[in-house]
Structure 1
Amino acid sequence: MNRAALVVIDVQESFRQRPIWAHASQPDIVGQVDRLVGAARGRGDLVVWVLHAEPGTGTVFDPALGHVRLIDGLSPVDGEPTLVKTSHNAFTTTNLQQVLTLAGIREVTVCGIRTEQCVETTTRVGADLGYEMIFVTDATVTFPIPHRELPADASPERILADPRTLSTPDIVTRTEYALAGRFATIRTVAELTGAVPAGV
């Protein structure tokens, strides 16, 4: 019975349909996630895939548009569940906790899109549920966050030109500070795939 799981969150085509994708913090997200998945499978860990859907909205997250699918280059194998959520965290609107409990999981590694939103929120909820959470920052993606006063449809150019915009390095730093020692252990892809020893 597995004791550890890798949960891949929202690494889906929906995000690539947005203009802001050109400013993603981790352009090689598919490669980074694929390395984690390969290492997890090699250890016999459970791999769980999570997708985000907003049915009936007409947005890139509306399943009717066909973008609620893993980005090319990633695919589950037999025995790896794919869950579809409608909340920010991967627990509330799915049976993820049941899947983990039935598999005897106590340690959960998370990666995916977005760093400070769905991945961080899943980490916080998982920690509250009693799981030992591992957050792999360099296998997550985020985007510049506009100030709340900018309109929701502001272009990437306008977002980037605004001095109030929160940069991706600042988002990553803030997320790590908020999680480390409270909700999760921060690890890198290299550490988890054996490329370098943990903590080096």
Structure 2
Amino acid sequence: MSDTVRRDQPFRAGETALLLVDLQRIWIEPGLDPHHPERGPDHYFHRTLRETTIPNTERLLAAARANGVEVLHTIIQSLTKDGRDRSLDHKLTPIHVPPDLPEGLPPDNLGPKGDEILLPKTSSGVFNSTNLDYLLRNLGVRSLIVCGVLTDQCVDMAVRDGADRGFLVTCVTDACATITPERQDTAFRAFGGYCHLADTASTVARIAAIGDAR
């Protein structure tokens, strides 16, 4: 198997999906996260988002949409207004984003277009609290491209769980962000064995090759 299948093998038409993790206003716009008012516009996290993560995610989205790659979005959002459906961990933390909170949705430049799928989740792991696995298999996906926030939490879970379920995972390192550069580097060292770590430029080139092969 290892001689014929690689995590960085060419993406194929109809078998590739891009997953954006938790790129919603409450986390990525300064001043909206009620638990972290100290993270202003000049905080490392928001500077990284503004200068690197968001522009690169926009590039990934444009490439995916132009080359027939499925785009899926997941956000932290309770199904009920009082959050009684949340995981125990989210209740203890506490994390609660009501379904009617405007800040809980992605900004227009990162949100779903057309009939792209948006999956609300109430745990760190999107595979644990949504039907993502079922959807990806129905869509015929084999290769899963992952980006978003936080690198060492929800992105980490998506990468590891996706790999365990048999998907060929690519994590786009410069389209992810977390709270400190140390946490970013540690995360990639920790879960790099479960995926192909790549930058935006090389991932966009692999996506564009799908269109070239048609």
Q: Give the TM interval when normalised to the shorter protein.
A: 0.7 to 0.9
Hey, what does 1:157 align to over in structure 2?
A: none
User: 1:59 and 1:87, CA in 2 relative to 1: closer, same or farther beyond 3 A?
Assistant: closer
Return the structure number with greater helix share. 2
Q: For the residues of structure 2 that align with 1:33 and 1:134, how far apart are their CA atoms?
A: 14
CA distance in structure 2 between the aligned counterparts of 1:47 and 1:131, rounded to whole angstroms: 15
Task: Check 1:99–1:31 CA distance in 2 against 1; reply closer, same or farther (3 A cut).
Answer: same
Q: Which residue identity does 2:66 align to in structure 1?
A: G
**Which of 1 and 2 has higher RCO (CA within 8 Å, sep 6+)?**
2
Matched, 1:169 2:205: no
SS of the residue 2:127 aligns to: coil
TM-score of the aligned structures, taking structure 1 as reference length: 0.78
Name the counterpart of 2:127: 91
Alignment-derived partner of residue 9 in structure 1:
21
Query: Aligned partners of 2:111 and 2:26: how far apart in 1?
Result: 16
Q: Select the residue among 14, 18, 27 that pairs with 2:50.
A: 27
Distance of 1:61 and 1:117 partners within structure 2: 17
Range that drifts further, 64-73 or 54-63? 54-63
Could you tell me which amino acid in structure 1 is paired with residue 178 of structure 2? T
Quote how far apart the aligned CAs of 1:21 are.
5.1
* Residues 39-188 of structure 1 mapped to structure 2, 5 A cutoff: 39-54=63-78, 55-56=81-82, 61-143=97-179, 168-180=180-192, 182-188=193-199
Contact 2:177 2:184 (C-alpha < 8 Å) held by counterparts: no
Deviation at 1:60, TM superposition (A): 6.7
SS at match of 1:109: strand
Q: Which of structure 1's runs of 4+ aligned residues deviate more than 3 A?
A: 57-60
Instruction: Supply the distance in 2 between the matched residues of 1:141 and 1:27 (Cα, whole angstroms).
Output: 10
Quick one: structure 1 residues 21 and 113, their matched pair in 2 at CA, closer, same or farther if it must change by over 3 Å? Answer: farther
Tell me the matched-pair count.
170
Question: What is the alpha-carbon distance in structure 1 between the residues aligned to residue 142 and residue 40 of structure 2?
Answer: 34
Q: Give the Å deviation of 1:188.
A: 0.7
- Specify whether residues 61 and 187 from structure 1 end up closer, same or farther in structure 2 by C-alpha distance, changes over 3 A only: same
Question: In the alignment, what sits opposite 1:191?
Answer: 202
Higher mean alpha-carbon deviation, 94-103 vs 14-23, is at 14-23
SS at structure 2 position matched to 1:116: helix
Deviates more, 1:21-30 or 1:170-179: 21-30
What are structure 2's unaligned runs of at least 5 residues? 1-12, 84-93, 207-214
TM-score normalised by length of structure 2: 0.73
Identity %: 30
**Does structure 1 retain, via aligned residues, the 8 Å contact 2:172–2:200?**
yes
